[in-house]
Structure 1
């Protein structure tokens, strides 16, 4: 078995994990809608809500507010909230 070398001058790009991308959305000042998170992750709404529950179980405090007829989720900046 022969190993192939990466051509010179080509860099490997490391993309953030899906979890990190979702955390980035939730850490925005405006938070993220269920649709934004589901679209990013390519999940159905019920799977997205279950994933948010997993964040709560890991100790994240997630606020949800009703805005313009929809719900926005964001990670609380203070544990007391």
Structure 2
């Protein structure tokens, strides 16, 4: 099943952690581990938030780091 493509981005409420996540992803990006530590979330919560951002219309890009199992997530503007 294909996800619906959204042309309009649904921004998070000002001052919430999701807004902080968007800011970090736009400015520098990060691994799930780094994002979880910065936000005080568990890794599965961070991954769910990344999925939710995709559903809201953000272009979340995932880049594999070398041969490691970690990925860096960024929002391309």
Report the Cα offset of residue 38 of structure 1: 0.6
Q: CA RMSD in A?
A: 1.4
Report the Cα offset of residue 62 of structure 1: 0.4
- Which residue is equivalent to 2:71? 71
- Which residue is equivalent to 1:56? 54
In structure 2, the residue corresponding to 1:73 is in which secondary structure?
strand
The count of corresponding residues between Structure 1 and Structure 2 is 61
Report the Cα offset of residue 17 of structure 1: 2.7
Does residue 43 of structure 1 match 2:41?
Answer: yes
Runs of 4+ in 1 over 4 A off after TM superposition: none
In structure 2, the residue corresponding to 1:27 is in which secondary structure?
helix
In structure 2, the residue corresponding to 1:43 is in which secondary structure?
coil
Decide which structure has greater strand share: 1
* Cα shift readout 1:15-49 (whole Å, capped 9, x = no counterpart): x4312211111002x41111121112211111110
TM-score, scaled relative to structure 1 = 0.66
Which consecutive unaligned segments of at least 5 residues does structure 2 have? 1-14
Name the larger-Rg structure.
1
Q: Distance in 2 between matches of 1:18 and 1:47?
A: 12
